[in-house]
Amino acid sequence: MEDRQVRVKTNRGEIVFELFAEDAPKAVSNFVALAESGYYDGLTFHRVVPGFVIQGGDPSGNGTGGPGYKFEDEPVTRDYLAGTVAMANAGPDTNGSQYFVCLEDQPTLPKNYTIFGQVTSGLDIVRSIAIGDVMETVTVEPKQQ
């Protein structure tokens, strides 16, 4: 999985992020399985906090939905930097399908959110996302060198 990346085509442009399968194997496997099943296609970004994060991956579109299951947190060994991709949760071990992307470095964010990727292209697109913007397609592909 380390040799794969995710391409999120939004109505504002494309975002590409690498996956940290060694750091977060459960989160990466979960995200890849959902993406490959088409789960994320057509979902919106339901939360945007300027200078902090954008969040999406909720089929209900309001921050309360998920895939119908939850999985455990994984240790956070990295910092929350601009472009960090991490699982959103409602408390310990409540990961599902929602994820967030940091808009700026977040040195004071508690390490309670499993980091599973990093934006490698399209951080300007991430920063342009507004509430209701759409993930048109989310695909997993071989990592570009």
Amino acid occupying residue 84: T
Edge to edge, what strands does the sheet with 45-49 contain? 45-49, 53-56, 99-102, 84-87, 115-121, 13-19, 4-10, 135-142
Q: What is the pLDDT of residue 7?
A: 98
**Phi and psi torsions of 141, nearest 5°:** -145, 165
Distance between CA atoms of residues 6 and 41, nearest Å: 13
Q: What is the pLDDT of residue 2?
A: 63
Q: What is the pLDDT of residue 145?
A: 66
Q: What is the pLDDT of residue 144?
A: 79
Give per-10-residue mean pLDDT for the chain (145 aa): 89 98 97 98 98 98 97 98 98 98 98 98 98 98 84
List of domains in the chain: 4-142 (2.40.100.10)
